[in-house]
Homo-oligomer: A and B are copies of this chain.
Amino acid sequence: MFPFKTSFTLDRKISKPLYLQLSNQFIQLIKEQKLPPKTKLPGSRTLAELLNIHRKTVVASYDELILQGWIESVAKKGTFVHSNLPLLHQTEFSKSNFTSEKQKTGFFFYKNEVFTSKNIIKDEAVMYLNDGVSDGRLTPIEEIARTYRRITNKKNVFNHLGYNSPYGNEKLRGVLVNYLNETRGLQVAKENVLITRGSQMGIWLSSQLLLKKGDVIVTGETNYASATTTFKNQQAIIKIVEVDENGIVTDNIEAICKKQQIKAVYVTSHHHHPTTVTLSAERRIHLLNLSTQYNFAIIEDDYDYDFNYNHAPILPLKSHDTNGNVIYIGSVCKTVAPVFRVGYLIASKEFVDEAASRRKIVDRQGDELLELTFADFIHSGDLDRHIRKVMKIYKQRRDLFCNLFSKELNAFFQFEKPKGGMAIWAILNKKYSWKQVVKEAQKHKLIIGDFNRYDMGNLKHNGIRIGFASYTEAEIYELIFRFKKTMFAIKDSL
Residue of B nearest to A313 (CB): B20
Q: Which residues of chain B are within 8 angstroms of A292 by Cβ–Cβ distance?
A: 89-91, 106
Q: A396 within 8 Å of B by Cβ?
A: no
Taken residue by residue from 301 to 342, chain A's Cβ proximity to chain B (1 for < 8 Å, 0 otherwise) reads as: 000000000111011000011111100000000000111110
**Are A102 and B188 interface neighbours, CB within 8 A?**
yes
A residues within 8 Å of B by Cβ? 14-17, 19-20, 23-24, 27, 31, 63-64, 67-70, 82, 84-91, 94-95, 98-99, 101-112, 115-117, 119-120, 133, 136-137, 139, 141-142, 144-145, 148-149, 152-153, 157-167, 182-183, 185, 187-189, 191-192, 197-198, 200-201, 204, 208-210, 212, 226, 229-230, 233, 246, 263-264, 280-282, 285-286, 288-289, 291-293, 295-297, 310-312, 314-315, 320-325, 337-341, 347-351, 353-354, 356-358, 360-370
| Known A85-B281, A88-B320, A117-B166; further 18 A-B contacts with Cβ < 8 A | A20-B312, A27-B281, A27-B315, A69-B281, A91-B292, A91-B323, A94-B323, A98-B322, A103-B349, A105-B297, A107-B210, A107-B295, A115-B358, A119-B167, A136-B158, A136-B159, A145-B153, A163-B338
Nearest chain B CB to A325 CB, angstrom units = 4
User: Which of chain B's residues has its CB closest to A368's CB?
Assistant: B339
| Contact, CB under 8 Å: B361 / A233 | yes
Most interface-central of A88, A204, A246, A280 (chain B CB within 10 A)? A88
Partner of A82, one of B107, B229, B281: B281
Which residues of chain B are within 8 angstroms of A98 by Cβ–Cβ distance? Answer: 187, 322
Report B-chain residues with C-beta under 8 Å of the C-beta of A139: 158, 161
* 17 pairs from A and B in contact (CB 8 Å cutoff): A23-B312, A24-B185, A68-B281, A88-B322, A89-B293, A101-B187, A102-B188, A107-B263, A117-B167, A120-B165, A145-B152, A148-B149, A162-B339, A198-B363, A200-B361, A339-B368, A341-B365
In the complex the two chains form, what is the Cα distance from A168 to B436 in whole Å? 33
**Do B101 and A348 have beta carbons less than 8 Å apart?**
yes
Give complex CA distance A472, B31 in Å.
42
Are the CB atoms of B102 and A63 closer together than 8 Å?
Answer: no
| A339–B102 CB distance below 8 A | no
Of B82, B338, B350, the residue contacting A105 (CB under 8 A) is: B350
Q: A230 to chain B: which residues have CB within 8 Å?
A: 361
For A86, give the chain B residue with the smallest CB separation.
B285
A149 to B153 Cα, complex, angstroms: 12
**A209 proximity list for chain B (CB < 8 A):** 109-110
* A94-B322, A105-B350, A348-B103 known; A367-B364 Cβ under 8 A: no
- Give the residue among A107, A183, A200 with the most B Cβ atoms within 10 A: A107
Knowing A116-B357, A161-B339, say if A367 contacts B365 (CB, 8 Å): no
Q: In the complex, A209→B117 CA distance in Å? A: 15
Q: Is the CB of A115 within 8 A of B357?
A: yes
Q: Specify which chain B residues have a CB less than 8 angstroms from the CB of A160 in the assembled complex.
A: 339
Tell whether A112 pairs with B357 under 8 Å between CB atoms, given A102-B192, A367-B367: yes
A289, B369: Cβ atoms under 8 Å? no
Docked CA distance A153–B108 (Å): 45
A485 vs chain B, min Cβ distance (A): 26
